[in-house]
Amino acid sequence: MHLSVIGCGYLGAVHAAAMASIGHDVVGIDVDERKIASLSKGEAPFFEPGLPEILSEGIASGRLRFTTDMAEAAGAQVHFVGVGTPQVKGGYAADLTYVDAAIDALLPYLAEGDIVAGKSTVPVGTAATLAERVAPTGATLVWNPEFLREGWAVQDTIDPDRLVAGVPAGPAGERAAEILRKVYHPSVGKGTPFLVTDYATAELVKVSANAFLATKISFINAMAEIAEVTGADVTQLADAIGYDDRIGRKFLGAGIGFGGGCLPKDIRAFSARAEELGRGESVAFLREIDEINMRRRDRAVDLVVEGLSGSVFKKNITVLGAAFKPHSDDIRDSPALDVAVRLHGLGAWVTITDPAAIENARRIHPQLNYVDDRDEALRGADAVIVVTEWDEYRRQLSPEHAATLTQGRIVIDGRNCLDAAAWREAGWTYYGMGRP
């Protein structure tokens, strides 16, 4: 099938390449010339395992190309819209400027029978408004939210755990759902659930999924706070409750909390939309979720201060990690980087390293000292804090080896990802999050 993908950020670039990899003929369109130039060469503009491979394959096969010219969307049967919906400045709501601009730019190239498939995360009610704007062209709007995780984006796009299509009532909606089924034929064919809903449900599925994940993380972090005053161990608690498959162990990782380009902004936009709908109280708990999450960053900083006997002033602190999670170079709302910046603000000499995110971090926070090599970063540290659980720190860094490099033997495990006993045995004073 001929597809266009409008917006070539995380979502769009991966979607375009993944659709080409399952056999479609795809044009990716974005207003950012640099992004398009790099994608056209088969280079991913961000770190995403597996993406460079499917980009190069797609381009070499002739099924995948990128352009800044919206006119090239003409002729595609399905137009995916995957532009960003950041938080508005000075508020919690989602900024729909890019979605509106993408639809406006696309309208002149739509033909009778085309499908416009919205993938951006939007406030409930957006699709209905956009559908009215698309209607005069004879095209049909569907809402097809995306659930990919950064770091696993290729796999999540090609082999998702479910597909959702929000369609209008009647034959046009049924036809649109059928076409979308064909687009996703490999996964639909092997039994991936394909749920057809109305617009509002599809929009809400996306934000409620992210709200639930955020809630799960803040729940365990709230338990970590209680563990801290009772001497309990939150990781054992998580293991024990996680064996109940109604609860499940996933997303019960206590630590410095969630960040990234999605969970934080999505729960805020959800609250803002619920307020507009007169149902603010229904998701009032999301404010608590947000506050618990932000408190964990304070806690991590406090532990470093405690470890260094009350002050980090003029102390060498090595921060392991900058990305908001491993397998990503994304530093948007990164708790890791926030902790580093806070320590710097308290007068510490902060050295930070990360396998993928240094360039991005340096651009936003040039005041910190960035070192590519992990061992070099550790040299002379008075204290070490792990804030992104990359394997390079979690599995590949032995406490004995680390001890040969640092000045002090204080380690703060901001992700509860280290073997506490092994670090203690190697002579370190170990601090976990919600662990004795």
Residue 207 CB, shortest distance to ligand UGA, in Å, is 9
Convert the chain into a string of H (helix), E (strand) and C (coil). Answer: CEEEEECCCHHHHHHHHHHHHCCCEEEEECCCHHHHHHHHCCCCCCCCCCHHHHHHHHHHHCCEEEECCHHHHCCCCEEEECCCCCECCCCCCECCHHHHHHHHHHHHHCCCCCEEEECCCCCCCHHHHHHHHHHHHCCEEEECCCCCCCCCHHHHHHCCCCEEEECCCCHHHHHHHHHHHHHCHHHHHCCCCEEEECHHHHHHHHHHHHHHHHHHHHHHHHHHHHHHHHCCCHHHHHHHHHCCCCCCCCCCCCCCCCCCCCHHHHHHHHHHHHHHCCCHHHHCHHHHHHHHHHHHHHHHHHHHHHHCCCCCCCCEEEEECCCCCCCCCCCCCCHHHHHHHHHHHCCCEEEEECCCCHHHHHHHCCCCEECCCHHHHHCCCCEEEECCCCHHHHCCCCHHHHHHHCCCCEEEECCCCCCHHHHHHCCCEEECCCCC
259 binds ligand UGA, rule: CB under 6 A: yes
42 binds ligand UGA, rule: CB under 6 A: no
Nearer to ligand UGA, 147 or 285 (CB): 147
With contact defined as beta carbons under 8 Å apart, do 369 and 349 qualify? yes
Nearer to ligand UGA, 166 or 255 (CB): 255
148 binds ligand UGA, rule: CB under 6 A: yes
**Residue 380, amino acid:** G
260 binds ligand UGA, rule: CB under 6 A: yes
Here's the x/- map for ligand UGA, 169-208, by CB under 6 A: it reads as ----------------------------------------
* Contacts of 334 by beta carbon, 8 Å cutoff, 6+ apart: 259, 260, 322, 323, 324, 357, 361, 388
Among 25, 30, 114, 150, binds ligand UGA (CB under 6 A): 150
Residue 238 CB, shortest distance to ligand UGA, in Å, is 8
Per the annotation, the verdict on 262 as an active-site residue is yes
The span of 43-51, 52-60, 142-150, 310-318 binding ligand UGA (CB under 6 A) equals 142-150
Whole-number Å distance between alpha carbons of 379 and 383: 10
Nearer to ligand UGA, 112 or 161 (CB): 161
263 binds ligand UGA, rule: CB under 6 A: yes
Among 47, 324, 370, 430, binds ligand UGA (CB under 6 A): 324
268 binds ligand UGA, rule: CB under 6 A: no
Q: Which of residues 206-235 bind ligand UGA (CB under 6 A)?
A: 210, 213, 217
Among 257, 321, 355, 408, binds ligand UGA (CB under 6 A): 257
Residue 153 CB, shortest distance to ligand UGA, in Å, is 8
Considering 94, 262, 348, 397, which one is annotated as catalytic? 262
Whole-number Å distance between alpha carbons of 132 and 123: 16
Among 57, 147, 194, 285, binds ligand UGA (CB under 6 A): 147
Residue 147 CB, shortest distance to ligand UGA, in Å, is 4
251 binds ligand UGA, rule: CB under 6 A: yes
Nearer to ligand UGA, 51 or 73 (CB): 51
Among 160, 255, 321, 355, binds ligand UGA (CB under 6 A): 255
Among 2, 56, 57, 149, binds ligand UGA (CB under 6 A): 149
Whole-number Å distance between alpha carbons of 207 and 116: 20
The span of 16-24, 146-154, 282-290, 337-345 binding ligand UGA (CB under 6 A) equals 146-154
The span of 49-57, 69-77, 167-175, 259-267 binding ligand UGA (CB under 6 A) equals 259-267
Among 19, 83, 167, 252, binds ligand UGA (CB under 6 A): 252
- Residues annotated as catalytic (active site), given as ranges: 262
Q: Where does this chain bind ligand UGA (CB under 6 A)?
A: 121, 146-150, 210, 213, 217, 251-253, 255, 257-260, 262-263, 324-325
